[in-house]
Amino acid sequence: MTTMELREDLRPFRRRTVVLFVFVFAAFGLLHLRLADLQVVDGVEWRNLAENNRLRRLPLPGPRGWIYDRRGQVLAENIPTWEVLLFPNEADEVEATGVFLARIGVSDISIFHQRLAERRIGRMAPLVVGENLSWEQVAAVRSHQSDYPELAVVSRFRRHYPYGELTAHVVGHLRPVSKSEVDADPRLEPDAMIGATGIEAAENAFIAGSSGERWVMASAVGRQLGVVSESEATPGHDLGLTLDIELQRVAAEAFGDQAGAVVALDPRSGAVRVLHSAPSFHPGVFGGRLSRSDWEGLLENPAHPLQNRCLQGMYPPGSTIKPFLALAGLEEGLIDPGETVFCNGSVVLHRHRFRCWRRGGHGFVNLERALTESCDVYFYLLGQRLGIEEMASWLYRFGFGERTGLDPAFEAKGLIGTPEWSRQVRGTPWYPGEAVSVSIGQGPVLATVVQLARAYAMLANGGRPVRPYLVSPPRASRPDPVVDPDHLALVAAALEGVVHGPRGTARSLGAIPMAGKTGTAQVVRLQEGVDSKDLAPQLRHHAWFAAWAPLDRPELVVAVIVEHGGDGGSTAGPIAGKVVEAFLRQRIQPGVETPPPPPNQPTSDASG
């Protein structure tokens, strides 16, 4: 084949090669143009989308331990819930985000702004802006995720208190952690909830879990692309209390709408069975990051529902103090049980007439009758013999004037006035007549309900000091009695007569096998001839009653105060009686289980 012929044969292939080359060149040209368009024209948009794929840190709160009563009834638990987190650094229009959340009912716009304003941390950390979401609200947030990529829905736990107001002052409630607490402890999450009052606060270190964290990659529209790393949260420890929820309920129902407190404990050990303060509050309102206006409303409530009257309320003990001064007189050898004093209704001491509560007087009374019928004149004269220093010394031995240790952070000390106290605190001299008032539990002497319960536990257990407790018993110890058993037996017999004697001040409760003492704490000084029942309710006396049962081997001590209740035997006494009766029924039927909260009992919820 000649060269000419070979060229003729290759000519078609050359044309095809040229066409192919032109096609490839054109394709590369188009690709180059598209790349240029992406880089130059759409480059900013695509670069923003790529850069907006970001890492998010999601805190994983450690669930708090559950709290139980002595029979295993749940007092505080955790329930799964949904929350909305806001990543402030990712929000272009925070105002629009707040409006959206308000529109779907997740967060009130004012609360949303309040949380933003009170943010204690940098903009990188998420902020809880909605709790306890319904399924509809979860769906609404997720369906608008592309519009509000700065939001994230997460599953968490909320704190739930099945008995609501009934245990609010015992179990307590939660509060948001403060900035200073976060700064001091890096293990705390900025949006954590910690114990504020009650057992939730006192045992927070034991109940609280340890947080974990999850690092996720999120897309530009807020969609989670994957988990980068994760460390699990550690749950807190469960806690059992000595509280008896059945007796607690009986005390609350007996109180009704009155204000005051009930404390019941085992005199043998100090284990607290009842700790009821009225009025109360719903602990769950604090879990949703309480608004400032709601918080101020609670603080300004004239009924003071936040005050734990068992521990923080200080009242003149009235005649409930008389058994301890009787023991002081016996121990000091200043009185003889058979010695009589004539009460004609009053006595003049230090140029002042001090009146007995019974206007016509009691006639001749010995120690037993003075306690059983609560004769003031007898104790005025006893106080004169003892003097304020001796009275104070003996009252301290029974635990007055010092905290019981049940809740040191929130417990009041009470007061025992002395000349030194008067100089240091009041800046005035001590007046002799003040000691006379102290001898019947009036004047500069104040006690808490838990102090009185502890003191009466000593009367019931043979005179041994006890420390009230709700969580764990103190170190095993059996302190020596502070009084002679024979003297204690005399006083105990008189207090049995208060309930079962024909002239006892609590004889209306005679069907209940208990011993006790009534007391009246004056709120205002009455003018002669004025009956306290004729006063306005807020000016009426406080009513006390303290008792123990059963009579032979006491297992329960109850102390009750009814604010402005008037007569202790008719108002505070019946409340204590119902608690004692319920306790005695339990002894007969120890296996009876406590029923769940009634359907009409409101429950309370709190995040944590």
Catalytic residue annotation: 319
Determine the Cα–Cα distance for residues 486 and 474; give it in Å rounded to an integer.
28
Beta bridge partners of 559: 263, 546
Return the beta strands (E) in 62-150 as ranges: 67-68, 74-86, 127-130
Q: Amino acid identity, residue 110?
A: S
DSSP letters spanning 525-561: PPPTT--GGGS-GGGSPEEEEEEEE-SSS--EEEEEE
- The answer for residues whose C-beta is within 8 angstroms of residue 406's C-beta and 6 or more apart is 272, 311, 450, 467, 468, 469, 470
Determine the Cα–Cα distance for residues 267 and 555; give it in Å rounded to an integer.
6
DSSP letters spanning 339-376: --EEESSEEEETTEEEEPSSTT--EEE-HHHHHHTT-H
Determine the Cα–Cα distance for residues 55 and 552; give it in Å rounded to an integer.
70
Determine the Cα–Cα distance for residues 344 and 368; give it in Å rounded to an integer.
18
- If we measure between CA atoms, which residue out of 358, 263, 378 comes closest to residue 567? 358
Beta bridge partners of 152: 85
DSSP letters spanning 60-80: EPPPPPPEE-TTS-EEEEEEE
Residues 460, 270 contacting (CB under 8 angstroms)? no
Return the beta strands (E) in 284-417 as ranges: 341-343, 346-349, 352-355, 363-365, 415-416
Beta bridge partners of 393: none
If you search the block for the tokens 């739930």, which residue do you land on?
160
Distances (CA, A) of 20 to 13, 17, 23, 26, 97: 10, 5, 5, 10, 57
If you search the block for the tokens 């009814």, which residue do you land on?
562
If you search the block for the tokens 């900025």, which residue do you land on?
190
